[in-house]
Amino acid sequence: MENKEAHICKDLKKRRFDRFICTVDIFTEISYGRDDEYQRAGGSGYLIIPGPEKQRAKVIDLSLGGAKVLIKVPINVGSPVAIRIEGSSEMPLIKGKAKIVWQKNLKSEMAYLAGIAFHSLGWRERFRLKRLIKRLSRKKTS
């Protein structure tokens, strides 16, 4: 039991950014390329189709470094994605680039949880994201 608790504490210390659970409806539109296997005479391989494939994802939790999202179609771990985060009318639009860093199949819901790490947000987007997180943290404490 001690070992399990130590492992959990270690995981919590690894986080660079605090995470905030989204109690409001926030969605992100994710655009990404697709890896398709192909077969031809003499061999097979992968063909990367630049896309854009798009899907709407529900944001579960959010931080300055990334987000946990609920998606319907899996995206390969390591895939670069373009994100567009939008909420209600008083929330500013946030656009930028990110990468899929993990994914988990939720068989009971026929959906997937995925972790996205932001890596290319401009200063304006970062400012908007900080304001959004501040607003979410106020709702969390009240």
**CB half-sphere exposure, 61, CA atoms < 13 A:** 11
pLDDT tens digits for range 9-51: 444 455 555 655 554 444 555 655 554 444 455 544 444 444 5
Question: Tens digits of per-residue pLDDT, 1-15?
Answer: 455 455 444 444 555
Q: Which residues contact 110 (CB under 8 A, 6 or more apart)?
A: 72
* Structural domains of the chain in order of their starting residue, each with its CATH number: 19-141 (2.40.10.220)
- Report the b/e string of 47-69 with b at 16+ CB within 10 A: eeeeeeeeeebebbebbebbbbb
According to DSSP, the residues that pair with 94 across neighbouring strands are 85
